[in-house]
Amino acid sequence: MIGSMIVQYAIMWHITLSLQSGIAMTIFILCGFLPTFLISPFAGVWADRFNRKKLIIAADAFIAVVTLILALIFLSGYEEVWLLFLMAGLRALGSGVHMPAVGAILPQFVPEEQLMRVNGINGTIQAAAMFIAPIISAGLLQVTSLSNIFFVDVFTAILAILTLLFFVPVKPHAKSDGVQLSYFADLKAGILYVKQHSFLKSLILFMVVFLIMLAPAAFLTPLQTARSFGDDEWRLAALEIVFSVGMMLGGAALSIWGGFRNRVVTIATAMAWMALCTIALGAVPNFIVYLVFMGLFGLAMPFMNSPMNVLFQEKVDPNYLGRVFGIVGMINTSMMPLGMLIFGPMADSVSIELLLVVTGGILFLATLLFARNKTLLEAGKPVAKPVEDEVQPAS
């Protein structure tokens, strides 16, 4: 994860500094999320059909090979920008295959009662990678070439593959050894499975609304900082740092505490917390206080993301888990960019502060509906474990 993020930041900054073009950055962002969006439903079928451990290794190896080829091309002296766009798209394809397989494989070797803690630890690791990677990437760009930085991802991918191959024993899930249905029958069955489960439909609907309304807080706060507090580089760096530190602390707290017994209560509390932080980000006039709320926003993220993953892992039939995570991956990669198509242009005619207050208010109202949804509350209850009958002594 750290290796991939180092290369991703390096490419993004190279394009930004060399072209200084908003169109180029838009193309780069599209290359980074559209392939993931398009491949996610197919990747979900693969995660249910094939050995998930091998699928994760194949996705990591694909990304590493693509990166290695580009590194060699750059070393030869051919350094065209279109190659970076192409690589961003190919790497996004690999990530799209990787994500549903990782989400679906955890319940195969993690005890159910430990899923929340393991997902919390995973959230902490992700936040730590988000904190460390830009620092390392910026340092490497000062001392070496972009082509040499590509080799970092190749090296870390090899380490990751060897670790998974030799130190993480996972038995193949039943479907990967079973009789194969036609590909599109598998895909259709996954969509029907979601339609037939009211808690999945409700949860996915709330995810769509929440992610669209979250777009201003996710994408427009750097622009807001530059406009309202100053365009100093340290301010933008401070936003990234406090948010990542908040996520690390939130993930660590969740891995220790485990959240409320009802998963939905934990998710709703985090959603309400983030909604109030969004309103605060649009209302506070002082940058230091602004940073505090940005850190609190990051703190709440693992309390929403991890319980939601656990809810899928606990409640979804293991044979459909990959396809459900594929659908979730499509939503995660598309809804906030879709929100930016709405709120991005508005930010040039309406103050970002107003957008944050309004979207934060809508988020809070949506959270109240989410927390009162009986179907979701029932699904969020912990799985009851059967009680062994007490053995009576022989008379």
Whether residue 395 lies inside any domain: the answer is no
* Pick from 1, 145, 158: nearest CA to 73: 145
Interatomic CA distance for residues 166 and 159, integer angstroms: 11
Other beta carbons less than 10 A from residue 123's beta carbon: 24
**What is the domain count for the chain?**
1
In a domain, 305, yes or no: yes
Examine residue 176 and state whether it is found in any structural domain, yes or no. no
CA 218 to chain centre: 13
**Structure confidence at residue 330 (pLDDT):** 81
Q: Is residue 388 part of a domain?
A: no
- The two three-digit tokens of residue 295, written as one number: 């850190």
Pairwise CA distance, residues 108 & 55, whole Å:
14
pLDDT by residue for the chain (395 residues), tens digit each? 889 988 888 887 777 667 756 567 667 777 888 888 888 888 888 888 888 999 999 999 999 999 999 999 989 888 888 899 999 899 999 988 998 888 888 888 888 888 888 888 888 888 888 788 878 887 888 888 888 999 999 999 999 999 999 998 888 776 654 445 566 677 778 788 888 888 898 999 999 999 999 988 987 888 888 788 887 767 877 887 899 899 989 988 988 888 898 999 999 999 999 999 999 999 999 999 999 999 999 999 999 999 998 898 888 888 888 888 888 888 887 888 788 778 878 888 889 899 999 999 999 999 999 999 999 999 888 765 544 444 444 44
Structure letter (DSSP) for residue 110 = S
Q: Is residue 226 part of a domain?
A: yes
Q: How far is CA 229 from the centre of its chain?
A: 29
Burial classification of residue 157, based on how many CB atoms lie within 10 Å of its CB (0-12 exposed, 13-18 middle, 19 or more buried): buried
Domain span at residue 236 reads: 2-170+182-379
**Residue at 194 is within a domain:** yes
Q: Is 384 exposed, middle or buried (0-12, 13-18, 19+ CB in 10 A)?
A: exposed
> Is position 390 within any domain?
no
For residues 7 and 10, what is the distance between their CA atoms, to the nearest angstrom? Answer: 5
* 362 in any annotated domain: yes
In contact, 315 and 187? CB cutoff 8 Å: no
Q: For residue 153, which of 301, 369, 5 has the smallest C-alpha distance?
A: 5
In this structure, what CATH number is given to the domain that contains residue 293? Answer: 1.20.1250.20
